[in-house]
Amino acid sequence: MIGVTVLGSTGSIGVSTLDVLARHPDRFRAVALTANTDAERMAEQCRAHRPLFAVMVDPTAAARLRVLLADMPGRPEVLEGVEGLEQVAAMPEADSVMAAIVGAAGLRPTLAAARVGKRVLLANKESLVVAGALLMQAVADSGAELLPIDSEHNAIFQCLPANFADGLERVGVERILLTASGGPFREWPLERLADVTPEQACAHPTWEMGRKISVDSATMMNKGLEVIEACWLFGTDTSHIQVVVHPQSMIHSLVQYADGSVLAELGNPDMRTPIAHAMAWPERFASGVEPLDLFAVARLDFQAPDFERFPCLALAFQAAEQGGTAPAVLNAANEVAVAAFLDRRVDFQGIAAVVGGTLEAMPNEAVAGRDVDFLLDVDQRARACAERFVRQRVS
């Protein structure tokens, strides 16, 4: 029986992970579940999956969960705080750890899992964006397995040869083609973008996602963060990565080879496919996803991204090329800017303005030899700087 810790079990990736787990009760068991504040949903998940531990980051939510589970026979032990997250990420009973906490908050538990050699199913792209060097070193030192869950990176992983770690050029790879839906505004007149509402930005045309990642898709910052993530995962740089807008979201990414071949991974837009692939790898098993009907799809369209329409994507490429702390600053500023947009404190175009201003204002520092505390300090300083830009736009 394979024990699985699900970091962020009440979010969309966590819920999909538990769905896949429940389809294979003879092979997998959820040994720990974690969430931030949603005690009611966590209580439901605990009763359905009976983990050994449940973690609520928020102490008040942890207290609420203890009350909700008071009458449950064999109830899980309830832990709280970041310390609780790190404990269940590294616990001996967990063979695999689904890292699905959104944002920089997922960094510490993801590192904790990597340092003790777990199979880390990485859905938290910010861990690599903020601390790519640190996480990849932890994986190398412990012998952990790092398997990508983002549909695009999982698709690339499936299209690469098993020895891609020897170097992409050595195994004949010329380019990674990272697909993007383009979000809900790819065909809007540019002058309309100033009037975008949070509700419109969260209405993704293809995927069902949380509010923050839906806004990131609408600005294409999500794709920019994925470019940085791909550089770390596949040992390359931005010169070997091209973003391709593909509105149908049926091709999840492609790999172009030196002999002219282009391999693509296709499937219905359902996160249970990459989750099941990573959980079973190198085997395959059922995910609950309907097979792709090519006759129903009928057509596949592609176009180049418009950097004027999507300045956040350009900023992400800039941060990736600068290296150092620039990606961490980019991520922190974006989290602040998106939160301000969702709270209606800045307009849609203000997101890129806040991120760009923060990148210019913050010094780009080297990260070699630094630890997680240094990176989290950079994260906090960047958030404070971004908040100042938000207040300037409000005033």
Q: Please check if 143 is assigned to a binding site.
A: no
- Give the length of the chain: 395
Q: Please check if 150 is assigned to a binding site.
A: yes
Task: With beta carbons less than 8 A apart as the criterion, state whether 252 and 300 touch.
Answer: no
Q: Please check if 210 is assigned to a binding site.
A: yes
Task: With beta carbons less than 8 A apart as the criterion, state whether 106 and 124 touch.
Answer: yes
Q: Please check if 240 is assigned to a binding site.
A: no
CA distance 113 to 282: 20
CA distance 126 to 122: 10
Q: Please check if 275 is assigned to a binding site.
A: no
CA distance 239 to 242: 8
Q: Please check if 118 is assigned to a binding site.
A: no
Q: Please check if 169 is assigned to a binding site.
A: no
Q: Please check if 217 is assigned to a binding site.
A: yes
Q: Please check if 93 is assigned to a binding site.
A: no
Q: Please check if 308 is assigned to a binding site.
A: no
CB atoms within 10 A of CB 283: 8
Q: Please check if 226 is assigned to a binding site.
A: yes
Q: Please check if 124 is assigned to a binding site.
A: yes
- Give the C-alpha distances (Å, rounded to integers) separating 373 from 55, 323, 369, 377: 22, 18, 12, 6
Sign for the CA dihedral angle at 246, 156, 376, 114 comes to positive
384 Cα distance to chain centroid = 23
Q: Please check if 356 is assigned to a binding site.
A: no
CA distance 158 to 148: 10
Q: Please check if 163 is assigned to a binding site.
A: no
Task: Name the β-bridge partners of 29.
Answer: 3
CB atoms within 10 A of CB 285: 12
CA distance 304 to 291: 28
Q: What is the DSSP string of 99-139?
A: E---SGGGHHHHHHHHHTT-EEEE--THHHHHHHHHHHHHH
Question: If residue 382 lies in a helix (H) or strand (E), which one and from where to where?
Answer: helix 372-394
Q: Please check if 364 is assigned to a binding site.
A: no
User: Residues marked as binding for NADPH?
Assistant: 10-13, 124, 126, 210
Give binding residues for 1-deoxy-D-xylulose 5-phosphate as ranges.
125, 151-152, 181, 204, 217, 222-223, 226
Bind-site residues: 10-13, 124-126, 150-152, 181, 204, 210, 217, 222-223, 226
Q: Indicate the annotated binding residues for Mn(2+).
A: 150, 152, 226
